[in-house]
Amino acid sequence: MADNVYYCSNCGGIMEFNVKSQTLKCPNCDTEVKIVDDRRNIIEHNFNERVARSVLVNEKHSSTMQCNGCGARVEVSADCTATECPYCGSKYVLAQKQEDAIIPDGVLPFKIDKNDVKQRFNTWVSKRWLAPGKLKNLYERDKIQGVYLPYWTFDADIVCDYSAEGGKRRREKVRKSDGSVTEKTVVDWYHTHGRIKHFFDDVLVKGSKNLKPSLLKGVEPYDLKKDLASYSPQYLSGYSAECYSVSLNDAHKEACQTIEKELHSMARNDVLKRYDEARNIRIAPDYRNETYKHILIPIYSTAYSYRDKKYTVLINGQTGKIKGDYPKSPVKIGIIVAVIVTILIMIFASSAKADETEYIPSSEAGVVYDTGYAYDEYVYDEYGYDENYLLEEKNDNSVALWGSRSDGYKENNTIDYQEELKDGTF
Return all residues near 352 (Cβ < 8 A) that are at least 6 apart: none
Say how far apart CA 418 and CA 426 lie, in whole Å. 10
Contact 18, 103 (CB under 8 A): no
Other C-beta atoms closer than 10 Å to the C-beta of 66 total: 12
Residue 274: what pLDDT?
96
pTM, to two decimals: 0.68
Report the pLDDT value the prediction gives residue 338, as an integer from 0 to 100: 75
Please give the pLDDT value at position 412. Answer: 45
Beta strands 145-175 and 322-324, pairing class: unpaired
What pLDDT, on a 0 to 100 scale, did the predictor assign at position 396?
46
Report, as an integer, the average pLDDT of 340-356. Answer: 73
pLDDT of 240 reads 83
The predicted structure's pLDDT at residue 398 = 46
Bigger pLDDT: 302 vs 219: 219
- Is pLDDT at 59 greater than 70 in this prediction? no
Residue 17: C-alpha distances to residues 32, 88, 211 (Å): 9, 19, 24
Region 330-356: mean pLDDT is 70
Q: Is the pLDDT of residue 186 over 60?
A: yes
- The pLDDT value recorded for residue 327 is 61
Report residue 195's pLDDT band, with 50, 70 and 90 as the boundaries: very high
pLDDT of residue 65 exceeding 70, the answer is: no
171 CB-near residues (< 8 Å, 6+ apart): 183, 184, 185, 186
Q: What is the mean pLDDT of the chain?
A: 76
pLDDT at 198 over 90: yes
pLDDT digits (tens, 9 = 90+) for 86-99: 445 566 666 555 55
Q: For residue 290, give the nearest of 184, 397, 159, 124 by alpha carbon.
A: 159
Residue 397's contacts (CB-CB under 8 Å, 6 or more residues apart) are 416, 417, 418
Domain ranges across the chain: 105-325, 328-355, 362-422
Task: Write down the pLDDT at residue 196.
Answer: 96
Nearest to 55 by CA among 257, 219, 250, 189: 250
pLDDT at position 415 over 60: no
**Regarding predicted confidence, which is higher, 70 or 260?**
260
Q: What is the pLDDT of residues 253-276, one digit of tens each?
A: 999 999 999 999 999 999 999 999
CB 355 within 8 A of CB 375: no
Among 289-298, 313-322, 360-369, the range scoring the smallest mean pLDDT is: 360-369
DSSP string, 331-392: HHHHHHHHHHHHHHHHHHHHHHHHHH--PPPGGGTT-B-TTS-EE---EE-TTS-EEEEEEE
pLDDT of residue 381: 42
Tell me what pLDDT residue 229 has.
Answer: 95
| 135 pLDDT above the threshold of 80 | no
For residue 421, pLDDT over 50 is answered with no
Query: Please, what's the b/e burial string for 200-209 (b: 16 or more CB within 10 A of its CB; e: otherwise)?
Result: beebbbbbbe
Q: Residue 413 above 50 pLDDT?
A: no
Would you say residue 180 has pLDDT above 90? Answer: no
Q: Which residues pair with 147 in a beta bridge?
A: 240, 299
Residue 132: pLDDT band by 50, 70, 90 thresholds?
A: low
Average pLDDT over residues 308-328: 82
Instruction: Give the pLDDT band (50/70/90) at residue 51.
Output: confident
404's enclosing H/E stretch is strand 398-405
